[in-house]
Chain A
């Protein structure tokens, strides 16, 4: 499968625990994005990478959130001291830069986080 893959698909955790999600983008894509989506909303931007460099992090993101893309390939998103408000679908997407800017974003199937 050459698409974007995310692991795990579902995660249930107790409030206060740390969780880590993984994303494997399409191999030739140099852009990788993390989004969060709650029911009835569009994807909310969290952060993105150009190769291994993290170029932007949403101001909405607290210091409990951190993301890495150590070798410019897969990426991890860690949430420390989870809160119930962190419950959401976490989506990863990858893309290339085309002539007119961003080309289409390919999304993984997401990791659904439930904090109890």
Chain B
């Protein structure tokens, strides 16, 4: 069946360092979404990528969709303590694109 892998599972950085999380799918995707969940909070939508090779930026966050549309990355430049949380990729289920399936997330900790 369809598999979603997110790596790394945990990342601990010093404030000011960069951070990248990767999401890999076993199937070609129509789109991919990224969410952030703060500790104790609920997932909050960050962005949706649709086009092959697409790159989108939100301030210090850069999102990329792979050329083959099977992987994606989220890069944070110069992390801040406000970036702490778990970052999830979410993608349409291959058999039924009406529902989303989720990676296990990458938990980011930032030392001030």
* Interface residues in chain A, defined as those with a beta carbon under 8 Å from any beta carbon in chain B: 31, 33, 40-45, 48, 50, 55-56, 91, 93, 97, 100-110
Interface size counted on chain B using CB atoms at 8 A: 25
Is B33 on the interface with A (CB-CB < 8 A)?
A: yes
A91 and B100: CB pair below 8 A? no
Interface contact A42-B30, CB-CB below 8 Å: no
B66 CB contacts on chain A under 8 angstroms: none
Could you tell me the dominant secondary structure of chain A's interface residues? strand
B59 at interface by CB-CB < 8 Å: no
Does B78 touch A at the CB level, under 8 Å? no
Q: B85 — which chain A residues lie within 8 A by C-beta? A: none
27 contacts between A and B (CB under 8 A): A31-B98, A33-B100, A40-B104, A42-B103, A43-B43, A44-B102, A45-B101, A48-B99, A55-B98, A91-B43, A93-B43, A100-B30, A100-B31, A101-B30, A102-B31, A102-B33, A103-B48, A104-B48, A105-B35, A105-B45, A105-B100, A107-B42, A107-B43, A107-B44, A108-B42, A109-B41, A110-B42
Bound Cα distance from A109 to B98, whole angstroms: 22
Alpha-carbon separation in the docked complex, A31 to B33 (Å): 17
Residues of B within 8 A of A108 (CB): 42
Q: A42-B103, A42-B104, A100-B50 are in contact. Are A48 and B45 (CB under 8 A)?
A: no
Residue-wise interface mask of B (76-111) relative to A, using a CB-CB cutoff of 8 A (1 in contact, 0 not): 000000000000101010001111111111010000
Which chain A residue lies CB-closest to B103?
A: A42
Of A31, A97, A104, which is in contact with the most chain B CB atoms at under 10 Å from its CB? A104
Which residues does chain A contribute within 8 Å of B97, judged by CB atoms? 101-102
In the assembled complex, the Cα of A54 lies from the Cα of B104 at a distance in Å of 26
Q: How far is the CA of A109 from the CA of B40 in the complex (A)?
A: 9
Query: Chain B residues near A103 (CB, 8 Å)?
Result: 48
> Which B residues lie within 8 Å of A100 (CB)?
30-31, 48, 50
Give the docked Cα–Cα distance between A91 and B92 (Å).
18
**Whole-angstrom distance between the alpha carbons of A43 and B103 in the complex?**
8
Residues of A within 8 A of B48 (CB): 100, 103-104
Q: Which residues of B contact A45 (CB under 8 A)?
A: 99-102
